[in-house]
Amino acid sequence: MTGFREPRATAPELPAPRGGLSAALAASLRDRRAPLPDPAQYPDPWGDDAQLSLYVLYELHYQGFRDVDDEREWDPGLLAVRRVIEERFLTALRAAVPGTTDPHEAMDRLLVEPADAGGVSHHLRDHGSLAQMREYAALRSLYHLKEADPHAWVIPRLHGRAKAAMVAVEFDEFGAGRAEGIHARLFAELMLDLGLDTAYGHYVDDAPAEMLATVNVMSLFGLHRALRGALVGHFATVEVTSSPGSRRLAEAMRRIGAGPAAQRFYDEHVEADAVHEQVVRHEVIAPLLAAEPHLAADVAFGIEATDLLEDRLGEVLLGSWRQGARALRGPRPVPSG
């Protein structure tokens, strides 16, 4: 695509606060003299305030923010605040998942779709409007414009076959050596076809807490060596569910008349992720557990936590669309393209 502008060429501005925790955090990020918030005063780990705060703190390790000093990435006070929010989020996740300890059992459940399957990709394929597809892409851009970056954190924590296979999959995600094939770029081109703004983090103010949680969990698992098994489980879940979901979304793009770049992104994932699924199952998870069998429960937890958060997001999206309402929060409309 000619005239392509890299979405991450400039850092985004801090998003608008959603409560006392994120407001105090933003003030401290802009001015070191401002006091850091006390997360203990904001106990809800699922809500907008906590999830936005966690998102902002994690983004310091990715693109940062235009009005925040890059040195704040490793600020001890910010890390302490983040740790409290993380621990509450982790506790809530562990309490909400079934608690399977066998990763193969957890994985097998992902491979069986119920007869009355009615997920987001099914809705968009069969009934979704162009406006709903734009909303979906706007929200997913919070991850897809940095696709595979959170999973790269696990590479130094693996060894042998597991490391080699993980690098092979990531190599594909990052375009196999070709900048124009990087999956994050392919998604930006999809957004252009849909008339969306491709600036990195542009739609964070539109994202409900459930969307932020699906992005945050990758960074939570990736930034902690102790959770390396959970990150592998998360990555496996993404690869296992991506191919059939991408096929439905590619069909949705064709049905609504989206452009070729919008179709290409999902077409690319149909075949690639079918291969990646097998690689992750047999060349990443199997050797990882052979070397570190005590990580089995963590891998299963990563699978179940990912599935849970995607289900929560799906309920929000479908609940809004079936009522004829927007799934995005706030008054700002998505451009009509």
Q: Domains in the chain and their CATH numbers?
A: 20-95 (no CATH), 101-322 (1.20.910.10)
Closest CA to 223 of 78, 29, 68: 78
CA distance 130 to 296: 42
CA distance 73 to 71: 5
Residue 111 pLDDT level (bands cut at 50, 70, 90): confident
CA distance 264 to 321: 25
Cα of 333 vs its chain's centroid, Å: 22
Whole-model pTM? 0.95
pLDDT tens digit sequence for 200-236? 999 999 999 999 999 999 999 999 999 999 999 999 9
The SS3 call for residue 115 is coil
Phi and psi at 23, nearest 5°, equal -70, -45
pLDDT tens digit sequence for 307-321? 999 999 999 999 999
Q: Is the pLDDT of residue 330 over 90?
A: no
Q: What's the Cα-to-Cα distance from 316 to each of 166, 195, 313, rounded to whole Å? A: 32, 23, 5
Exposure letters 155-172 (e unless 16+ CB within 10 A, then b): eebbeebbbebbeebbeb
Q: Identify the DSSP state of 12.
A: P
